[in-house]
Amino acid sequence: MGSTTFKNENIAEGVEPDACFYIQNEAAVRGKNRIDLETDPPPDLAIEIDLTSRTQFNNYEALGVPELWRYNGRNLQMGVLQNRKYIQSDRSLQFPNFPITELIPQYLEQSKTARRNVAMKAFRSWVKAQI
């Protein structure tokens, strides 16, 4: 999804992830111009890039986002929602067979020395080889 602010009555202020994706629930929101979390599911995955401030998990927990990735410029931390709280995980719910915490920082680092498009092409090739 593009730039989106998510909010419901359970949180004081909305959250605006740097990126979010509907994967398992894509069909439930397909074609919608506006997501209403009173009736629509939250995104399956939210990604926050925390270079200047640290994302608080509590609002994402209250929204019920199943998976939250947080990247601080060096490390990727994955939180998986269990019993309404995030626990740190090395495996993604959405991509359980991919070593995400190792891959993403590796390709991001590669994009600093090679052109971004070269790194993206290499990442896409790796993914295609896995599936």
Q: List per-residue pLDDT tens for the chain, 131 residues long.
A: 555 767 666 666 677 888 999 999 999 999 998 888 889 999 999 999 888 777 778 889 989 999 999 988 888 999 999 999 999 999 999 999 899 988 888 898 889 888 889 999 999 999 899 88
Q: Cα dist. 27→8, 81, 88, 95, 104 in Å?
A: 21, 21, 28, 18, 27
pTM attached to this predicted model: 0.82
CA distance 104 to 108: 6
Cβ atoms 65, 43 nearer than 8 A: yes
CA distance 113 to 110: 5
Give the chain's radius of gyration (CA, Å): 15
